[in-house]
A = this chain, B = another copy of it.
Amino acid sequence: MSGLGVIPIADIPEVVAGELLADLIAAAAAAQGTPVLDGDCIVVTQKIVSKAEGRIVPLAPDDLDARRELIERESSRILRRRGDLFISETTHGFVCANAGIDLSNVDDGSAALLPVDSDRSARKIRDGLRARHGVDVAVVISDTFGRAWRRGLTDVAIGVAGLAAVVDLRGSSDARGRELFATEVAVADEVASAAELVMGKAAGIPAAIVRGLDPTWFRESAVAELIRPPAEDLFR
């Protein structure tokens, strides 16, 4: 029996530009009695990554023109529009609402843009935890996206370091010894979703530890593994 633990990291102080998230995370986890350990995967929400990286821009809440310009600037392509809602492909290749621009949990009159390169953001946290805190972990940067077909939002990975974004089980056998097909599992997305269950949108918990993941999933990776090329996509 090898289970998972999902531990919220509470009491991370308000993040300002230039701060080292690795230090904030290590300190908060230790302070609550659950220090970060080798083999953990740390899930960090986009919001505090964007704040630490200074990706906060002014945006008046009622200025719909400025909002639209910002969405267009952060997008390579608008896929659908309904009223104020834009579904676009971001410059990173993510398909999400409003180019991932976030108005909650930031100061009034400002908006949080997605990190420029969330894999790099994840690596920086991972490297910081290793170099300054002596722990070897994986890091997932998470954000809250909608889906086609299904109602409700789920958290997904927008950046990874040290954890397979997708685990390819093709060619493995199922429990009856027959070859499996179509079994690329989006492990990093499932890790982000698991972490969301302890963070809660309103609770202001911006990070969590996922402990007990399969050690074979720890490898160099990139979130691009999770991006379906438009040519492969039957719904774009």
Contact = CB atoms under 8 A, between A and B. Distances in A.
Given A104-B174, A150-B156, A197 B202 contact: no
Instruction: Name the residue among A34, A80, A175, A183 with the largest chain B CB count within 10 angstroms.
Output: A175
Interface stretch (A6-14, A50-58, A65-73): A6-14
A148 B149 contact: yes
A108 interface: yes
Interface in A195-236: 196-198, 200-204, 212-214, 225-228, 232-236
Contact of A185 (B153, B198, B225, B232): B153
A194 B195 CA distance: 8
Contacts of A3: 5-8, 34, 198
Chain multiplicity (copies): 2
Contact of A186 (B6, B152, B232, B235): B152
Contact-size category for A: 35 or more
Interface stretch (A19-27, A114-122, A124-132, A164-172): A164-172
A175 B128 CA distance: 27
B196 A82 contact: no
